[in-house]
């Protein structure tokens, strides 16, 4: 009888613990950077940043959002730059940017710096900008650096 | 008796007229949006048509008497926003003017906000949210705030959050994080989709940021 009581108590405790873990998992599911698998899964299969066009809208978007850190000419000297622990990327320097693929730049803009193993100072813009404009921003960065992925 | 009633009534009318006129007299509307229907116009200072939803009256009164810099880089629509132009300081007002303006501004509301919990964050939870503030969401890149050691850190393109706990209403902070477009058609801040738990914790974290905690 005592054994049965212990067994029952054990089952109840296990159920409670399992449920609590699931709730905790749900509650924090949107507050961590996406895993590599999630990033790959979320990127549209037909993403072809190299085909995106840089339009006036692209330049305006860059000026409105990106210049805050990357500067009005993309030199990494925006008004926030000197306050950041990791300096914003200079988009006019090809040396680093040619080592990144267009897909990596797309991921960094959409999911933030952490998603591609870079600085968390770069926030995720995926809830603000749609994929088309992010693709055109990638091409605009290519214009600024006058470089392509090696 | 009739004379007294007339005097009191006239006094009230004069007072109401003077109160309503101070906003025009100080020309607040030339920089700030004061009416929801002015959505098409571009203003060079923060919108105030929801000031009653956003600010704490005590802070607002103090600000009007002794203005402090909230946006070191200026307001987002300023032409020199990205270049740190020389900003002209906000006008300061007398005690009486500040009281009257605060009363008027606190009546400007556009929505009824959902109540939020004011339960303080535990030390551990505060450290966790601070980590998310800096690393998961990258807020620190644009907003000055206080680190755990009480030092001011962060970028300047967004409004300073160093004194957010005294300046803002918790309900407004939660409303802004949840749906910023209600208050601003197009800001420069990225949108985030936070689950209700994170949103509540974030709001409570921001409300802990007070200038008296600077060390």
Nearest to B173 by CA among B154, B148, B200: B200
- pLDDT computed for residue B191 by the predictor: 95
How far apart are alpha carbons B83 and B64 in whole angstroms? 27
User: What are B55's strand-pairing partners?
Assistant: B168
- DSSP structural state of residue A51: G
* Contacts (Cβ under 8 Å, ≥6 apart) of A18: none
**C-beta atoms surrounding A67 within 10 Å:** 21
**C-beta atoms surrounding B167 within 10 Å:** 24
- Best mutation target, A23, A29, A76, A80, to test chain B (most B CBs within 10 A): A80
The band of B185, judged by pLDDT with boundaries at 50, 70 and 90, is: confident
The band of A24, judged by pLDDT with boundaries at 50, 70 and 90, is: very low
Domains of chain B: 22-106 (1.10.760), 123-213 (1.10.760.10)
Q: Does A121 touch chain B (CB under 8 A)?
A: yes
Q: What is the CATH number of domain A34-145?
A: 1.10.760
The shortest C-alpha distance from B55 to chain A (Å) reads: 26
What value of ipTM does the predicted structure carry?
A: 0.86
Q: Which of B75-84, B147-156, B172-181 has the highest mean pLDDT?
A: B172-181
Per-residue pLDDT of B88-132, as tens digits, reads 789 999 999 999 999 999 999 998 888 888 888 999 999 999 999
Q: Does B134 touch chain A (CB under 8 A)?
A: yes
Q: Does B141 touch chain A (CB under 8 A)?
A: yes
Per-residue pLDDT of A64-99, as tens digits, reads 999 999 999 999 999 999 999 999 999 999 999 999
Looking at residues B190-207, what average pLDDT do you find?
94
Per-residue pLDDT of B139-153, as tens digits, reads 999 999 988 788 999
How far apart are alpha carbons A106 and A104 in whole angstroms? 5
How far apart are alpha carbons A105 and A125 in whole angstroms? 12
Query: What is the H or E stretch that residue B96 is in?
Result: helix B95-106
Per-residue pLDDT of A107-130, as tens digits, reads 999 999 999 999 999 999 999 999
Rg (CA), chain A: 22
Tell me how many degrees the CA angle B154-B73-B47 measures, rounded to the nearest 5.
105
- DSSP structural state of residue A101: -
Q: Does B137 touch chain A (CB under 8 A)?
A: yes
């Amino acid at each position: 009888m005592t054994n049965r009581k212990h067994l029952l108590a054990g089952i109840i405790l296990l159920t409670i613990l399992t449920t609590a873990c699931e709730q905790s998992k749900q509650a924090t599911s949107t507050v961590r950077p996406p895993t590599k698998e999630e990033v790959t899964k979320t990127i549209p299969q037909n993403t072809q940043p190299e085909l995106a066009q840089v339009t006036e809208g692209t330049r305006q978007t860059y000026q409105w959002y990106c210049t805050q850190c990357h500067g009005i000419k993309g030199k990494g000297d925006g008004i926030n730059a000197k306050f950041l622990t990791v300096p914003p990327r200079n988009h006019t320097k090809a040396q680093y940017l040619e080592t990144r693929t267009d897909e990596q730049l797309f991921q960094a803009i959409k999911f933030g710096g952490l998603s591609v193993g870079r600085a968390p100072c770069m926030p995720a813009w995926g809830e603000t900008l749609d994929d088309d404009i992010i693709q055109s921003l990638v091409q605009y960065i290519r214009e600024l650096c006058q470089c392509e992925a090696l | 008796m009739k004379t007294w009633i007339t005097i009191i009534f006239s006094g009230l009318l004069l007072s109401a007229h003077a109160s309503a006129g101070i906003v025009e007299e100080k020309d607040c509307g030339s920089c700030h949006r004061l009416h929801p229907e002015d959505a098409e116009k571009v203003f060079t200072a923060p919108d105030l048509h929801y000031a009653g939803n956003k600010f704490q009256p005590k802070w607002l009164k103090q600000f009007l008497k002794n203005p402090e810099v909230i946006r070191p880089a200026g307001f987002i629509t300023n032409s020199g926003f990205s270049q740190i132009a020389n900003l002209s300081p906000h006008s300061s007002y007398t005690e009486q003017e500040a009281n009257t303006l605060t009363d008027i501004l606190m009546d400007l509301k556009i929505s009824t906000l959902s109540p939020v919990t004011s339960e303080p964050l535990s030390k551990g939870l505060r450290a966790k949210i601070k980590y998310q503030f800096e690393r998961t969401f990258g807020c620190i890149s644009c907003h000055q705030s206080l680190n755990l050691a009480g030092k001011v850190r962060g970028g300047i393109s967004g409004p300073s959050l160093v004194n957010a706990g005294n300046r803002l209403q918790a309900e407004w902070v939660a409303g802004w994080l949840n749906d910023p477009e209600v208050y601003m058609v197009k800001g420069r801040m990225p949108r985030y989709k936070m689950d209700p738990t994170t949103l509540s914790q974030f709001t409570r974290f921001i409300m802990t940021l007070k200038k008296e905690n600077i060390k």
